[in-house]
Amino acid sequence: MKFSKDFVFGAATAAYQCEGETRTHGKGKVAWDDYLEKGNFQADKASDFYHQYPVDLHLAKQFGINALRISIAWSRIFPYGEGVLNQEGVDFYHHVFRQCQKEGIEPYVTLHHFDTPLALHERGDFLNRETIDAFVKYAAFCFKEYKDEVSYWFTFNEVWPIATNQYIEGVFPPCITYDISKAISSMHGMMVAHAKAVNIFKSCGYKGQIGIIHSLETKYPYDPTNTDDIRAAKKDDILANQFLLDATLLGYYSEETLHTINELLDLNHGSFHYDKRDIAEMKEAANQIDYLGMNYYQSNFVRYYDGENEIVHNGTGEKGTKKFKLKGVGERVIKDGIPTTDWDWLIYPQGMYDMLMRISKQYAFTKGIYITENGLGKKESMSDYHIVDDESRIDYIAKHLTWLLKAINEGVCVKGYFVWSLMDVFSWSNGYNKRYGLFYTDYPTQKRYPKASAYWYKRVIKNREI
Ligand code: BG6
């Protein structure tokens, strides 16, 4: 079986990770700017997309990639999140979109990719209703401004990773740990902001389409015959996947979801309150979204765990250093026979298939799913002859595409697939030695070189088969 002619093969990027010029050209600060200043790496130059987008778009076209996920940096448009407008930032994205048109590349545009403007971040980010209102105004501005250039929108990228990294794992600013209450409330805040933005988009009658991107990881019981492990996997799933799938596809939280979330919050002396009007907005948006974006990298095997919280982030690529034990949820463990990346991410392509089948069965969702990110992060270097032989990345992508095709053949409506990432970009809590690109970014010259995977992907796109 082949991929159909209209199946979209693309690649993905995100503003803060590739643009550079993070504090110049009128752009307002984001929390990352100050946070990174205290560490070993900065994003001030990143992959220099701000200057090199014509090169990247041209390379993409040469390699048959005709869809590119990019994100708009909110603080490049509104430096303080709301109010003052930075015309230079507005123009920059016009230039990018026009260049896309010139190269025949369809932009798929995300409005929020981990980069709330600092002024709003400092006042509580999405725990504060003011951020929701500001986001909706920013979204409405972009819809109108870019209506003739952008047809495919996503409101947020990865609501759960934002919440867990900010408030549970503590690796994204403000670096708070084990506060499940804040994580849940911030996810709800983002889902309300998403819903309001979708409803405005639809009420204005723009010709384009809109959805949201979630990072989904299938949760399997470590021992499928052990009821405690089964329960732990279910809880982890509800927290990281189902809470958001309910909000996005149903427009409300199911009883099962609320029951588990409240149990977890009781255990952590927390609570979750929301307004009934939020649910009305969310239901309206659930009926109106055009597609779901799914980022998929890994799945988890979860074991019953009764001890204290203990989460250790592997940000160096030193295998075996990651730990995830969350009180009242479970422990994510490596399982014999299942390979992992150097960052301890389980490589389990079947998890993508299982998640796609689950969404289509549990939610009867038939509108269409895009795999908006999938790829392999690894340490790489380039030979003297500018060759980067990334066979393991080719193998990773090929296996995921094989399972994806199986899901399509079994009736799941998947419209496209985007490799993360087009070129090597800055990786949030891992710096620059975790590379994902189809194109090698030679820091600090920032020149691009196609890796073996770029040539391989070009053949896949041309032949519509793996
Ligand atoms: C997703 C994000 O979480 O995964 C990207 O949308 C991110 O922004 C990618 O870079 C890979 O994660 P990491 O932490 O390895 O860079």
Q: Which atom of ligand 1 is nearest to the CA of 158?
A: 6
* Beta carbons within 10 angstroms of residue 103's beta carbon: 18
The CB of 434 under 6 Å from ligand 1? The reply is yes
The CB of 430 under 6 Å from ligand 1? The reply is yes
For residues 278-289, average pLDDT: 98
Point out the catalytic residue in the list 373, 380, 391, 410: 373
Residues 451 and 393 sit within 8 Å (Cβ to Cβ):
yes
By DSSP bridging, strand 310-312 and strand 209-215 are unpaired
pLDDT of res. 391: 98
Pairwise CA distance, residues 445 & 236, whole Å: 43
Model confidence at 201: pLDDT above 90? yes
SS3 394: helix
Pairwise CA distance, residues 427 & 361, whole Å: 34
Model ipTM value? 0.99
Q: Which atom of ligand 1 is nearest to the CA of 343?
A: 15
The CB of 112 under 6 Å from ligand 1? The reply is no
The CB of 50 under 6 Å from ligand 1? The reply is no
Give the helix ranges, DSSP H, for 104-179: 118-121, 129-145, 159-167
Mutate to test the pocket of ligand 1, among 162, 425, 436 (most ligand atoms within 8 A of CB): 436
Alpha carbon of 131 to ligand 1 centroid (Å): 23
pLDDT of res. 40: 87
The CB of 377 under 6 Å from ligand 1? The reply is yes
Alpha carbon of 66 to ligand 1 centroid (Å): 22
Residues 68 and 332 sit within 8 Å (Cβ to Cβ):
no
Alpha carbon of 295 to ligand 1 centroid (Å): 9
pLDDT of res. 345: 98
**How does the average pLDDT of the chain come out, rounded?**
97
Taking only the tens place, the pLDDT of each residue in 364-400 is 999 999 999 999 999 999 999 999 999 999 999 999 9
Instruction: Extract the runs of DSSP E, i.e. beta strands, from 281-413.
Output: 291-295, 300-303, 310-312, 323-326, 330-333, 369-373
Model confidence at 403: pLDDT above 90? yes
Alpha carbon of 235 to ligand 1 centroid (Å): 23
Q: How far apart are the first and last CA of the chain?
A: 10
Active site residue 373: yes
Strand order in the sheet with 300-303: 219-221, 300-303, 330-333, 323-326, 310-312
Mutate to test the pocket of ligand 1, among 36, 158, 424 (most ligand atoms within 8 A of CB): 158
Alpha carbon of 383 to ligand 1 centroid (Å): 26
Instruction: Extract the runs of DSSP E, i.e. beta strands, from 272-430.
Output: 291-295, 300-303, 310-312, 323-326, 330-333, 369-373, 414-420
Mutate to test the pocket of ligand 1, among 214, 428, 441 (most ligand atoms within 8 A of CB): 428
Residues 19 and 73 sit within 8 Å (Cβ to Cβ):
yes
The CB of 56 under 6 Å from ligand 1? The reply is no
pLDDT of res. 404: 98
pLDDT of res. 372: 99
Look at ligand 1, atom 16, and give the residue with the nearest C-alpha.
427
Pairwise CA distance, residues 355 & 406, whole Å: 12
Model confidence at 251: pLDDT above 90? yes
* Beta carbons within 10 angstroms of residue 123's beta carbon: 14
Domain positions in the chain:
8-217+239-293+348-463
For residues 280-286, average pLDDT: 98
pLDDT of res. 1: 81
pLDDT of res. 131: 98
Residue 38 pLDDT level (bands cut at 50, 70, 90)? very high
For residues 115-127, average pLDDT: 98
Mutate to test the pocket of ligand 1, among 216, 420, 423, 441 (most ligand atoms within 8 A of CB): 420
The CB of 427 under 6 Å from ligand 1? The reply is yes
Phi then psi dihedrals of residue 26, to 5 deg: 85, 0
Pairwise CA distance, residues 362 & 256, whole Å: 13
Pairwise CA distance, residues 407 & 359, whole Å: 11
The CB of 428 under 6 Å from ligand 1? The reply is yes
Residue 200 pLDDT level (bands cut at 50, 70, 90)? very high
Name, in order, each residue with C-beta under 8 angstroms of 164's C-beta and a sequence gap of 6 or more: 183, 240
Taking only the tens place, the pLDDT of each residue in 60-93 is 999 999 999 999 999 999 999 999 999 999 999 9
Determine the number of helices (DSSP H) and then strands (DSSP E) in the chain: 16, 15
Alpha carbon of 422 to ligand 1 centroid (Å): 13
The CB of 315 under 6 Å from ligand 1? The reply is no
Model confidence at 208: pLDDT above 90? yes
Alpha carbon of 158 to ligand 1 centroid (Å): 9
For residues 42-67, average pLDDT: 98
Residues 308 and 327 sit within 8 Å (Cβ to Cβ):
yes
Alpha carbon of 427 to ligand 1 centroid (Å): 6
The CB of 341 under 6 Å from ligand 1? The reply is no
DSSP symbol at 385 = T
Q: Superfamily assignment of 8-217+239-293+348-463 in CATH?
A: Glycosidases (3.20.20.80)
For residues 293-309, average pLDDT: 97
The CB of 372 under 6 Å from ligand 1? The reply is no
pLDDT of res. 333: 97
Alpha carbon of 228 to ligand 1 centroid (Å): 31
pTM above 0.95, yes or no: yes
The CB of 14 under 6 Å from ligand 1? The reply is yes
Model confidence at 267: pLDDT above 90? yes
